[in-house]
């Protein structure tokens, strides 16, 4: 098939690249000329494991191309994916201005039947808004609007796309349904389902899924905080809970809160949808409140250790991205902790395998950056672990101890065992464990 993807951000680039991998011809369009120039030259603009290999392969095979010409891209594609930003508005709702702006333009560009697909995470009713915007200028016989939310986890997005747990497609059009089934059949050869439903249900499914996972994380963080009060070990509680098949083992790891481009924005957006429909979604309100508090709980621990005085203390940070295997720092707990440390007068030096360039754009020379996880320990009083990168899990503890002035480690991701740290002579604090 000839596929157009409008938007070359995280979702758009992964979507376009993965569709080209199964033999489709994909044209991605973006208004950012520099980005399009880089992508066309074979320079990938995001960090995502496994993406670069298939990106280059499909450019070489001429199945994947990039342009700034929207009219050309619309004319090319039989299927047009909208993978545009939906940033959080001031009131917590999703900002649909990018999507509606493109929808208004599509009506003047479509000359034959097209399927317009909302791939972005959008509020309930967006498909109807897109449909109405296009229908202002062309006949409804020339297009269908479909909701096809993405369920990509940063760090494993290629695997998620190529081998999805499920594909959700919202449409009431039989014509669009059959095209979408054909499009996705190569990705579900092992029997994973394609669920067809109405557009509004598909739109709500994405928000419901992300909000439930965020709730699960938040609940576990609350349990971890309670464990510290009563002297229990959250690791043991997690094992006991996770073995129940009704609960499951995943998303039960406590830490310093969720971040990224999806959970914070989607939880707030779903809460806003409920508010607009005069429904009090109390659980989500609590999730938002608890997560905001959890993001800086590790700062409270280090501040207490230094008896409220962090001025002049040099704090080393391992990890800046909101999760491992990505350079994404959107709503990363590390950023909130950095703000607290700087405000308290601490000297901050940091290392992350992928995210330092993005953080440097925000802070400049306010914090120092190191070339590796050991260099960042130079002259440091204490170490804070903020992202659970695999390379941090089995370090040289003797070397760390020789570098840290106060032999203190604050583990916000529970990657080290407390007993082992005690045996190695560290002062050690983590989340929800003795």
pLDDT tens over the chain, length 434 residues: 999 999 999 999 999 999 999 999 999 999 999 999 999 999 999 999 999 999 999 999 999 999 999 999 999 999 999 999 999 888 888 999 999 999 999 999 999 999 999 999 999 999 999 999 999 999 999 999 999 999 999 999 999 999 999 999 999 999 999 999 999 999 999 999 999 999 999 999 999 999 999 999 999 999 999 999 999 999 999 999 999 999 999 999 999 999 998 999 999 999 999 999 999 999 999 999 999 999 999 999 999 999 999 999 999 999 999 999 999 999 999 999 999 999 999 999 999 999 999 999 999 999 999 999 999 999 999 999 999 999 999 999 999 999 999 999 999 999 999 999 999 999 999 999 98
pLDDT of residue 434: 85
Tokens representing 322 are 């909101």
Q: Give the distance from CA 60 to its chain's centroid.
A: 29
DSSP 8-state symbol, 219: H
DSSP-derived secondary structure for 397-424:
HHHHHHH-SS-EEEETT--S-HHHHHHT
Give me the pLDDT at residue 342, please. 98
pLDDT at residue 92, rounded to an integer: 86
What was the pLDDT predicted at 320?
98
The rounded distance, in Å, linking the Cα atoms of 287 and 216 is 9
CATH of 206-294, one of 3.40.30.10, 3.30.750.80, 1.10.1040.10, 3.80.10.10: 1.10.1040.10
Every domain range in the chain assigned CATH 1.10.1040.10? 206-294
The total number of residues shown for the chain amounts to: 434
Residue 91 pLDDT = 86
Question: Reduced to 3 states, what is the DSSP secondary structure of residue 132?
Answer: helix
The CATH number of 2-197, from 3.90.480.10, 3.60.15.10, 3.40.50.720, 3.90.245.10, is 3.40.50.720
Q: CA dihedral in degrees (218, 219, 225, 228; nearest 10)?
A: -140
Can you give the pTM of this predicted structure? Answer: 0.92
- Both structure tokens of 208: 């419901």
- How far apart are the C-alpha atoms of 150 and 207, rounded to whole Å? 11
Whether 204 and 126 have beta carbons less than 8 Å apart is answered as no
The Cα 266–Cα 283 span in angstroms is 14
172 contacts 198 by C-beta, under 8 angstroms: yes
CB-side exposure of 331: number of CA atoms within 13 Å? 18
Which residues make up the CATH 3.40.50.720 domain(s) of the chain? 2-197, 297-429
Q: Is 262 a catalytic residue?
A: yes
Question: What are phi and psi for residue 169, nearest 5 degrees?
Answer: -130, 120
297-429: in CATH 3.20.20.300: no
For 263-391, list the strands marked E by DSSP: 314-318, 347-351, 368-369, 382-385
- Catalytic site residue from 18, 28, 227, 262: 262
At residue 276, the pLDDT reads 94
């Amino acid at each position: 098939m000839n596929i157009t993807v409008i938007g070359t951000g995280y979702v758009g680039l992964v979507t376009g690249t993965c569709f080209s991998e199964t033999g489709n011809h994909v044209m991605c369009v973006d208004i950012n000329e520099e980005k399009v120039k880089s992508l066309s030259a074979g320079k990938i603009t995001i960090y995502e494991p496994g993406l670069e290999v298939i990106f280059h392969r499909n450019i070489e095979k001429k199945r994947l191309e990039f342009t700034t010409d929207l009219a050309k891209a619309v004319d090319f594609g039989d299927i047009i994916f909208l993978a545009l930003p939906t940033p959080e508005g001031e009131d917590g709702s999703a900002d649909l201005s990018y999507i509606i702006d493109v929808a208004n333009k599509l009506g003047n560009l479509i000359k034959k039947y097209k399927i317009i697909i909302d791939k972005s995470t959008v509020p309930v009713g967006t498909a109807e808004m897109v449909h109405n915007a296009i229908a202002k200028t062309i006949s409804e016989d020339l297009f269908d609007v479909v909701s096809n939310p993405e369920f990509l986890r940063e760090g494993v997005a290629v695997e998620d796309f190529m081998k999805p747990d499920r594909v959700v497609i919202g449409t009431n059009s039989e014509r669009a349904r059959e095209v979408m089934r054909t499009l996705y059949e190569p990705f579900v050869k092992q029997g994973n389902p394609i669920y067809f439903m109405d557009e509004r249900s598909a739109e709500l499914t994405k928000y419901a899924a992300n909000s439930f996972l965020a709730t699960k994380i938040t609940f576990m963080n609350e349990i971890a905080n309670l464990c510290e009060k009563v002297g229990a070990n959250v690791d043991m509680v997690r094992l006991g809970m996770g073995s129940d098949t009704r609960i499951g083992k995943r998303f039960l790891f406590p830490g310093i809160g969720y971040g990224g481009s999806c959970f914070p924005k989607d939880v707030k957006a779903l809460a806003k949808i409920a508010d607009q429909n005069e429904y009090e979604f109390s659980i989500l309100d609590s999730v938002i409140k608890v997560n905001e508090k959890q993001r800086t709980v590790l700062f409270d621990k280090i501040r207490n250790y230094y008896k409220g005085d962090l001025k002049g203390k040099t704090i080393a940070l391992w990890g800046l991205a909101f999760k491992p295997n990505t350079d994404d720092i959107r709503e990363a707990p590390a950023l909130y902790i950095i703000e607290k440390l700087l405000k308290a007068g601490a000297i901050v030096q940091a290392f992350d395998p992928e995210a330092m360039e993005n953080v440097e754009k925000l802070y400049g020379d306010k914090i120092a950056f190191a070339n590796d996880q050991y260099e960042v320990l130079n002259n440091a009083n204490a170490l804070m672990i903020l992202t659970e990168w695999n390379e941090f899990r089995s370090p040289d503890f003797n070397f760390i101890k020789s570098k840290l002035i106060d032999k203190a480690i604050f583990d916000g991701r529970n990657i080290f065992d407390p007993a082992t740290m005690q045996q190695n002579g560290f002062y050690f604090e983590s989340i929800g464990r003795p």
